[in-house]
Chain A
Amino acid sequence: GQQVMQIPQYQHVQEGEDFTTYCNSSTTLSNIQWYKQRPGGHPVFLIQLVKSGEVKKQKRLTFQFGEAKKNSSLHITATQTTDVGTYFCAGPGETSYDKVIFGPGTSLSVIP
């Protein structure tokens, strides 16, 4: 069945260091979405990537969609304490287009 994987599971960084999380799907995706969930909060949509090789930036965050549309990455430059949370990638279900399937997430801790 379809699997969406993310690495690493946890990442602890010193404030100001960079951070990257990687997302891999067992199937080709029509699009990939990224969400951030703060501790005690709910997932918040960050961005959607649709095109092969697409790169999008949001201030210190850079999102990339792989050429084969099976992998994606999120890179944060010069982390801040406000970046703390769990970052999930998500994509459409293989068997049913109505589904949005979430990866297991990467939990980011930032040490001040």
Chain B
Amino acid sequence: DTEVTQTPKHLVMGMTNKKSLKCEQHMGHRAMYWYKQKAKKPPELMFVYSYEKLSINESVPSRFSPECPNSSLLNLHLHALQPEDSALYLCASSQYRGGNSPLHFGNGTRLTVT
């Protein structure tokens, strides 16, 4: 079981659709992350929120738009995606900001762009 909850588990969307991925944690963690993972590859960092402020954007295309409404919630808004954006999208949280704090991952959203 994971303490980071992601919805939906699976998502199929067309290139003209707008959708959102949601992530929630109630561990009081102050940093939250979005990672993208392709098959047989490591997680690739997309965004980091620290104390509800965006601290890192790894040059992610603007068709991905993150949002952190409060310290427990993290959203990823998707618009006009490409088929190559199909991947597993992982949300994670850590107690403190920075690379010293272990990551707790959600189950992920498996996204297919048609």
Mark A residues whose CB is within 8 Å of B. Answer: 30-31, 33, 35, 41-45, 48, 88, 90-93, 96-105, 107
Task: Report the minimal beta-carbon distance from A106 to chain B, rounded to whole angstroms.
Answer: 11
Q: Given A42-B90, A43-B105, is A98 in contact with B98 using a C-beta cutoff of 8 Å?
A: yes
Q: Are A104 and B42 in contact (CB under 8 A)?
A: yes
Mark B residues whose CB is within 8 Å of A. Answer: 2, 31, 33, 40-45, 48, 50, 55-56, 88, 90, 94, 97-100, 102-108
CA distance A101 to B103 in the complex (A): 11
**A35 contact set on B, CB distance < 8 A:** 103
Q: Are B99 and A42 in contact (CB under 8 A)?
A: no
Task: Report the minimal beta-carbon distance from A70 to chain B, rounded to whole angstroms.
Answer: 15
Q: Given A42-B105, A42-B106, A43-B90, is A91 in contact with B42 using a C-beta cutoff of 8 Å?
A: no
**A100 contact set on B, CB distance < 8 A:** 33, 45, 94, 99, 103
Q: Are A101 and B104 in contact (CB under 8 A)?
A: no
